[in-house]
A and B are shown apart, each in its own frame.
Chain A
Amino acid sequence: MSKQQITGAEALMRSLEHEGVKTLFGYPGGAIMPVYDVLYDHRDRLNHILVRHEQGAAHAAQGFARVSGEVGVCLVTSGPGATNTITGVADAMIDSTPIVVIAGQVGTGLLGTDAFQEVDLVGVTQPISKWSYQIRRAEDVAWAVARAFYIARSGRPGPVVLDFAKNAQIGLTDYAPVELDYIRSYDPDPETDPKAVGEAVALINEAKKPLVLVGQGVELGNAQEELKAFVEKADIPCGCTLLGLSALPSDHRLNKGMLGMHGNLGPNVKTNECDVLIAVGMRFDDRVTGKLETYAKQAKVIHLDVDPSEIGKNVPVDVPVLGNCKRTLSLLTELIQKHDHTEWINSFQTYEEKEYNQVIRPEVFPTEGPINMGEVVNAVSEATRHEAVLVTDVGQNQMMACRYFKFSKNRSVVTSGGMGTMGFCLPAAIGATFGAPERTVCAFMGDGGLQMTMQELGTVMEQKAPVKMILMNNNYLGNVRQWQAMFFRHRYSFTPMMNPDYEKIASAYGIGYRRVMQREELQEGIAEMLKWDGAFLLEVCVVEEGNVLPMTPPGSSVNYMMLELDC
């Protein structure tokens, strides 16, 4: 029985289709041309989105993955094409986002010779990816792709890089789809120690003032319902990390808001008062913990995580519960007793009121003066009945968006948490419109961040990607300016920034546009944006020197939050 041999490039197409890939984000070039050539014949099955810069491809793949739970795929050429994806790879690594980047590479005969557009991609990406591999022979394609997807999506998800040598793209091979669900050196769901579970149950049963920290692990592990069942049975208030914000509905009785430097007062203060701290799928980032030496010292810490290297990395853990939290949360829920912590839960109220009166009300419901970011975010969230996908850039716009947007659906926050990558928003939002085509995608960005990847407006135009872009323009690199005001004596070193005429830019790309300068026009502007068929850029001119509050200054304890600036 002789099978028809196919090229490595064709094997790649079939392997991708075998993995269920329907969408890829990419940009062609010399070393990946054989793949683009066969892609031409697969156009009906593989929807290739041509971006305008490879960084955009990587972020789009991230946005796609974050909302859909599927692996995002990028296809780029060697050398500069590959290095342009690096920011996205590193971002996906620290934010545990499953993407597979397939990059062309010079032929194996030229490797190591500084050939045209040769870069040691495996060497460059090894420290910032979950796995990097060079495909040197056509017969390895099916195996490498199967392994790449398995690794990217299983366990703690992350980016995988495939460096695809040109001769392997052209070379002929037999092809049979590869199924792969086992790698002996890799344990995607480590065993849970029953003794640890017992200890955790005992601690939770005895706790008087327990607090749950909800991380993105809950969404990644698809454990939103298990989390709800757990916290409802044990009656435990929750704080969410930036990436965990939509794992529990915002209006849930036990959701006490966001953790961290610009989070809500309640969960931050209570972190240093609780007696048992239960961290679920989160990694105690320094933006969450503040000063480690004083962090939750009074509490017993239970940490549920799928990644053993996270246990005790930053915060000492009393009881580690390893394994996928969908499984471990169910285990705990089954074994714990029902509790009522009403009094403890009510004790958050003082802080909620304090924050509302001193920070939230003036930010969200001002009656005079320029428009605030908080009121824009709140208005958009309400206009979309808290059902939209929130994509943010980085800076004040990000913190305000995450503070004031509300969530009723899972997998609704797409933001660059660990890396804080400016320019993430627009391409990630494009990716999100493909990952969740039935949902409204609201992309909040600053004037700095938009200009970092503004070229992707070309992709929006070409794909008719219905991104609702909300540019909160303060004519500053606002986040840095705020720090300069607070810690560098108001010396605004290169943070005021000149802006282009965004109306002209939008019109050049055929994108709907409206500028809002007055409070009275805000609702109308938002309504127009949402009614608009397709992409829309709503530029809101917001207060220039607004500040994100509350704030735990760097190096301070988590329970210390400034409610106003004394500068």
Chain B
Amino acid sequence: MENKTLYTIIVHSENIAGILNQITAVFTRRQINIESLNVSASSIKGVHKYTITCWTTPDIIEKVVRQIEKKLDVIQAHYFTDKEIFLREVAMYKLATPRLEANTEVSKVIRRYGAHIVEVNQVFSIVEMTGMSADITSLYEELRALDCVLQFVRSGRIAVSTSCFERVNEYLAHREERYNKEKHS
């Protein structure tokens, strides 16, 4: 087996129904599992941003990204290794309040991870944590060992690249400039 890396793909597309389908189809055709997926509006009006993670090889990730970018309504797609991005996940842990109160160890653990208690009532409390995937997992494991977790949910990864510009802005500006130049030449 070739060595696989966890890649983060950032895709910008027009906000048109059905694009998610087209993007995921690229993974399905190559039998690549999507590890996490986050879709939201981007900072540019009318442009959607997808953050996708998957394990694959350098050779395949290149081809996957080109095939995503080929989709007509996709503006740009790039891939990054963890070193090239700043990334976060969000998790929520629903804990049984009586157990939280009975065992002081629980709040110590929560504090140690820099997580916050955002809701408390007699039945349950909610702890929220923003951080790296591994930390989120290990907090979950520690809390579970303390037998207080009622529910656990985590988001997909979101990420920004560590270069200073949002490349899409530049790309769109450049596209338009080129178009105008070609049109008038």
> Residue on B with the closest CB to A160?
B72
Residue A531 is within 8 A (CB to CB) of chain B in the complex = no
A377 to B31, CA, bound (A): 43
Question: Contact at A126–B18, with CB atoms within 8 Å?
Answer: yes
Interface residues of B in 50-103 (CB under 8 A from A): 62-63, 66-67, 69-70, 72-75
| B144 CB contacts on chain A under 8 angstroms | none
- For A366, the chain B residues whose CB sits under 8 A away are none
Give the Cβ gap from A412 to chain B, nearest Cβ, in Å.
Answer: 29
Q: Complex: how many Å from CA A309 to CA B74?
A: 13
Within the complex, the shortest CB–CB distance from A153 to chain B, in Å, comes to 14
Asked whether, in the complex, the Cβ of A183 is within 8 Å of the Cβ of B69, the reply is: no
CB contact between A191 and one of B14, B22, B63, B178 (< 8 Å): that residue: B178
Contact B63 A312 (CB under 8 A): yes
Set of chain A residues within 8 Å of B21, measured between Cβ atoms: 123, 126
Instruction: State whether A122 touches B18 (Cβ < 8 A).
Output: yes
Once A130-B72, A131-B72, A182-B179 are accepted as A-B contacts, the answer to whether A312 and B25 lie under 8 Å apart by CB is no
Tell me, yes or no, whether B8 is within 8 Å of chain A by CB. Answer: no
Asked if B172 CB lies within 8 Å of chain A CBs, one says: yes
Give the residues in chain B near A312, CB-CB below 8 Å: 62-63
> Is A185's CB under 8 angstroms from B72's CB?
yes
Asked if A184 CB lies within 8 Å of chain B CBs, one says yes
In the complex, whether A341 has a CB less than 8 A from a CB of chain B is no
Answer yes or no: B13 CB below 8 A from chain A CBs. yes
Asked if A307 is at the interface of the complex by the 8 Å CB criterion, the answer is yes
**With known contacts A185-B74, A186-B72, A309–B67 Cβ distance under 8 A:** yes
B70: chain A residues at CB < 8 Å are: 307-309
Do A185 and B67 touch across chains, with their CB atoms under 8 A apart? no
A residues 354-385 with Cβ under 8 Å of B?
none
Asked if B63 and A313 sit within 8 Å, CB to CB, the answer is yes
- Chain A residues contacting B18 (CB-CB under 8 Å) are 122-123, 126
Measured in the bound complex, the distance between the Cα atoms of B179 and A184 in whole Å is 9
B interface size (C-beta, 8 A):
23
Contact A184 to B72, CB < 8 A, known contacts A312-B62, A313-B63:
no
Q: Is A187 an interface residue (CB 8 A)?
A: yes
Q: Which of B8-37 contact A (CB under 8 A)?
A: 13-14, 18, 21-22, 25, 29
Q: Does A127 contact B (CB under 8 A)?
A: yes
| A residues 128-170 in Cβ contact with B at 8 Å | 130-131, 151
Task: Determine if B63 and A309 form an interchain contact, defined as CB atoms under 8 angstroms apart.
Answer: yes
- B175 touching A127, Cβ below 8 Å: no
- B170 an interface residue at 8 Å Cβ cutoff? no
Q: Does B119 contact A (CB under 8 A)?
A: no
Residues of B contacting A151 in the complex (Cβ-Cβ under 8 angstroms): 72
Q: Does B2 contact A (CB under 8 A)?
A: no
Looking at B21, B25, B66, B72, the one whose CB has the most chain A CB atoms below 10 A away is: B72
Interface-centre pick from A122, A181, A309, A311 (highest chain B CB count, 10 A): A309
Shortest distance in angstroms between A350's beta carbon and chain B's nearest beta carbon? 37
Alpha-carbon gap, A153 to B157, bound state (A)? 39
Q: Complex: how many Å from CA A184 to CA B15?
A: 13
Do A127 and B25 touch across chains, with their CB atoms under 8 A apart? Answer: yes
- If over half of B's interface residues share one DSSP class (helix, strand or loop), that class is named, otherwise mixed; here it is helix
Distance in Å from the Cβ of B150 to the closest Cβ of chain A?
Answer: 36
User: What distance in Å separates the Cβ of A196 from its nearest Cβ neighbour in chain B?
Assistant: 16
**Min distance, Cβ A89 to any Cβ of chain B, angstroms:** 15
Residues of A within 8 A of B73 (CB): 185-186
- The interface residues of chain A lying within 8 Å CB-to-CB of B183 are 181
Closest-by-CB residue of A relative to B22 is: A126
Q: How many Å lie between the Cα of A313 and that of B21 in the bound state?
A: 22
Bound CA span A181–B183, Å: 10
Contacts of A307 in B (CB 8 A): 70
Residues of B within 8 A of A183 (CB): 72
Q: Which residue of A lies closest to B14 (CB)?
A: A185
- Using Cβ atoms and an 8 Å threshold, which residues of chain B touch A186? 72-73
B9 → chain A closest CB, angstroms:
15
| Minimal Cβ-Cβ distance residue in B for A185 | B75
List residues of chain A with CB within 8 A of the CB of B72: 130-131, 151, 183, 185-186
Q: In the bound complex, what is the Cα–Cα distance between A181 and B184 (angstroms)?
A: 13
Neighbouring B residues of A182 by C-beta, 8 Å: 179
Q: Which residues of B contact A181 (CB under 8 A)?
A: 183
Which residues does chain A contribute within 8 Å of B14, judged by CB atoms?
Answer: 185
Provide the residues of chain B in CB contact with A122, threshold 8 Å.
18
B67 touches A187 (CB 8 A): no
Closest B residue, CB atoms, query A151: B72
**How many angstroms from the CA of A323 to the CA of B75 in the assembled complex?**
18
Q: Cα distance A131–B70 when bound, in Å? A: 11
Kindly identify which residue among A123, A131, A184 contacts B176, using a CB–CB cutoff of 8 Å.
A184
Closest chain A residue to B174, Cβ basis: A191
Q: How far is the CA of A307 from the CA of B63 in the complex (A)?
A: 12
Return B37 CB to nearest CB of chain A, in Å: 18
Question: Which A residues lie within 8 Å of B175 (CB)?
Answer: 184, 187
Residue numbers in A under 8 Å from B25 (CB-CB): 126-127
CA gap between A313 and B176 in the complex, in Å: 28
A309 to B62, CA, bound (A): 9
Please state if A309 and B66 are interface contacts (CB–CB under 8 Å). yes
The 6 closest A-B pairs by CB, nearest first: A309-B66, A185-B75, A309-B70, A131-B72, A182-B179, A309-B67
Which B residues lie at the A interface, using CB under 8 A?
13-14, 18, 21-22, 25, 29, 62-63, 66-67, 69-70, 72-75, 172, 175-176, 178-179, 183
Question: Can you list 19 A-B pairs, Cβ within 8 angstroms, ordered by A?
Answer: A123-B18, A127-B22, A127-B29, A131-B72, A181-B183, A183-B72, A184-B75, A184-B175, A184-B176, A185-B14, A185-B75, A186-B72, A187-B175, A308-B66, A308-B69, A309-B66, A309-B67, A311-B66, A313-B66
